[in-house]
Structure 1
Amino acid sequence: MWKWEADGHAKAVIAILHGAYENHRWYAWLIEKLRMEGFHVVMGDLPNHGAKAKLSRVHDEDFKEYNKYTRNLIENAFSYDLPVFLIGHGLGATLVLHTVHKRKYECAGIVLTSPWLHLKLLPGKMSNALTSLSALTANVKMTHDITFEKLTRNVEGRNEMKDEFPFKSVVSVKWYRELQYMMRNLVIMTKAEFPNMPMLVMTGEKDGITETRQTRNWLHQQEFTEFQFKEWAKCYHNLFHEVEREEIFVYIRDFINNALRRIGYIIE
């Protein structure tokens, strides 16, 4: 877990959860932009991601580890005694939803980009069949065919993803089964179950990994008094690596500043 202090007086704290197979270094650009705008940032690597990804060849970690890590990250953000915002991308967005739903954290707002609520690109040709079989299949390995080219159309963004940590998208059936269970529970969540707080959800029009229509439907089925949905034209899955990321960042910054104004903060 790492913390980056704001450049000057901090307005709020932002905890970031990255997506599956990624690591915190992919978010260096976003972290610096937030810090320069007056936000403390808290972030780390999901279990078996980042440096620890070098130790194994497959993602088979228990989702309880993910949930514990997410709680830890959020509680670290609250230690500053400032308003807390959560930014979750992909699987990180799904973990944000699951944890806030279970723990009822009182955040100042949530930003979700390309949340995994329903996957368009599935791991392995037989994934649906395998996950319905007995526990004997739990350790069967499948490749989730996500490549840098599917994450962004921006060459500069792809280069930022290439670092010393391995990008491995091989998962076990057990891992995928747990992912499906979490996504399904969020999708069938009844109205008013999720804490009412400002919510910004953004997707890419050309996202080939998630079903963005399902994401939009989920948002409109909730009973939030304040929410925004934005689909970015031509963009792929990883919005923070796309050509339009400066505009995307301004959209997020304005959402956060507006949320702060509504709770009594003076934003210059």
Structure 2
Amino acid sequence: MWTWEVENAKGVMVIIHGAGEHHGRYEWLRERWNEEGFHVIMGDLPGQGVTTRRRGHIRSFNEYIEAIEEWIEEAQTYDLPIFLLGHSMGALTAIRALQLRSLPVWGVILSSPALGLKEQPPAFKDVLSKGLNKLMPGKLVQSPLVIENVTRNQRLWREHKEDKLYVKKVSVRWYRQFVEAMNLAFKDMDKFPDVPLLILQAGEDKVIEKFIVRQWFDDMSLSEKIYKEWTGLYHEVFNEPEQDQVFAYAKSFVHLHV
């Protein structure tokens, strides 16, 4: 976990990265929130980035939730409004953490949340993964994520090739826990707290099925919720060429609740 502080802070932004990546890919976003007067807290989820656990593997999705709890506890030490921002699987982790834990957040931003995959694996592979989950849960398989499918930003394509921290293989157990978490995000919908929610969904998402995200959003009973779809943008909306527009929208949402 790392903390970037500013003077006369208005609040604290806790950022959760997505599958395979690490907090270093959010440097631009971190700087922008600092410029807006927010402390920023980030870390690498278990099995990713510079964490000491086995890369690409978890025993339980709860490991991610426990990490978020630690970050939130650190944010509470400032006695300022806390906001949670998660991307993709990080957004799914935020959802599950809020459904299962009592977290003192003032607002939540979900970027292209992982609530349903755009392309489902063949049925036989799904069945095979269930068997391997019992017999060989640590077996690693190639991640289907391709950098060209998550952003149109060619600078990030080049950086990705040199990024030694990016996880390119995940375990069977990781995959089964990921699928279960997506299912539980729908099953436990009534456990989500009544906090302001903003979803920033990529209009040309090649990773997550945006219609499933919209379904989850529509079924949520919240006093305040906003769904913003960004036409033409790929999965990583904060890394797209239009990132300034996306950030401005997120910033406006946060400033309404400080």
| CA displacement, residues 153-189 of structure 1 (integer Å, 9 cap, x when unaligned) | 1213334545543322312221111111111011122
Q: How many residues align?
A: 256
Shift of 1:102: 0.9
Distance 1:125 1:142 in 2: 17
C-alpha spacing 1:155/1:91, structure 2 compared with 1 (3 Å): same
**Between the two proteins, what is the percent identity of the paired residues?**
34
C-alpha spacing 1:147/1:243, structure 2 compared with 1 (3 Å): same
Instruction: Report whether the alignment pairs 1:70 with 2:68.
Output: yes
Residue 65 of structure 1 aligns to a residue whose secondary structure is helix
| CA displacement, residues 70-103 of structure 1 (integer Å, 9 cap, x when unaligned) | 1111111111100000000011111111111111
2:58 paired residue number: 61
1:59 partner letter: G
Contact 1:157–1:242 (8 Å) recurs in 2: no
C-alpha spacing 1:177/1:204, structure 2 compared with 1 (3 Å): same
TM-score, normalising length: structure 1: 0.89
Residue 256 of structure 2 aligns to a residue whose secondary structure is helix
Instruction: Report whether the alignment pairs 1:22 with 2:17.
Output: no
Distance 2:215 2:45 in 1: 28
1:11 partner letter: K
Distance 2:25 2:161 in 1: 9
C-alpha spacing 1:162/1:72, structure 2 compared with 1 (3 Å): farther
Residue 201 of structure 1 aligns to a residue whose secondary structure is strand
TM-score, normalising length: structure 2: 0.92
Listed as ranges, the gaps of 5+ residues in structure 1 are 261-268
Query: Bigger CA drift: 142-151 or 166-175?
Result: 166-175
Query: Bigger CA drift: 199-208 or 65-74?
Result: 65-74
C-alpha spacing 1:203/1:185, structure 2 compared with 1 (3 Å): same
| CA displacement, residues 184-223 of structure 1 (integer Å, 9 cap, x when unaligned) | 01112243x2100100001111111111111111011111
1:3 partner letter: T
Contact 2:202–2:234 (8 Å) recurs in 1: yes
1:221 paired residue number: 219
Distance 1:218 1:176 in 2: 21
1:194 paired residue number: 192
C-alpha spacing 1:190/1:51, structure 2 compared with 1 (3 Å): closer
| CA displacement, residues 221-253 of structure 1 (integer Å, 9 cap, x when unaligned) | 111110100111111111111010000000000
1:175 paired residue number: 174
1:241 paired residue number: 239
C-alpha spacing 1:5/1:75, structure 2 compared with 1 (3 Å): same
Contact 1:130–1:137 (8 Å) recurs in 2: no
1:266 paired residue number: none
Contact 1:12–1:82 (8 Å) recurs in 2: yes
The alignment yields a C-alpha RMSD, in angstroms, of 2.0
Residue 133 of structure 1 aligns to a residue whose secondary structure is helix
2:187 partner letter: I
- Structure 1 segments (4+ residues) deviating >6 Å: none
1:49 paired residue number: 48
C-alpha spacing 1:65/1:190, structure 2 compared with 1 (3 Å): closer
| CA displacement, residues 104-163 of structure 1 (integer Å, 9 cap, x when unaligned) | 213110000011111124578854122333612434432222111011012133345455
C-alpha spacing 1:161/1:248, structure 2 compared with 1 (3 Å): farther
Residue 45 of structure 1 aligns to a residue whose secondary structure is coil
Distance 2:160 2:72 in 1: 25
C-alpha spacing 1:121/1:78, structure 2 compared with 1 (3 Å): farther
Instruction: Report whether the alignment pairs 1:154 with 2:156.
Output: no
Listed as ranges, the gaps of 5+ residues in structure 2 are none
1:119 paired residue number: 117
2:4 paired residue number: 4
Residue 50 of structure 2 aligns to a residue whose secondary structure is helix
